[in-house]
Amino acid sequence: MSVAVATECPVCAGMVGVPGDAMMGELLDCDECGSELEVTQLTPAIEVREAPMSAEDWGE
């Protein structure tokens, strides 16, 4: 288990827990509003944005 950190949801401004081992592009769900969020930055601070609604598979 890794230490989780929290960041602010860009949609509802609620706190979103992010796993300490989160990767760029990892998708998370906001507990507050249910939005799907994508990790866009890991350092110096984790940032997330609302994930595209598209179900397209972007591949590797």
Q: Which residues bind Zn ion (CB under 5 A)?
A: 9, 11-12, 14, 30, 32-33, 35
Considering the complex, state which of residue 21 and residue 29 has its C-beta at the smaller distance from Zn ion. Answer: 29
- 15, 5 Cβ separation under 8 angstroms: no
Question: Is residue 11 helix, strand or coil?
Answer: coil
| Nearest distance in Å: CB 48, Zn ion | 10
Considering the complex, state which of residue 12 and residue 51 has its C-beta at the smaller distance from Zn ion. Answer: 12
Q: Report the C-alpha gap between 38 and 1 in whole angstroms.
A: 21
| Nearest distance in Å: CB 44, Zn ion | 22
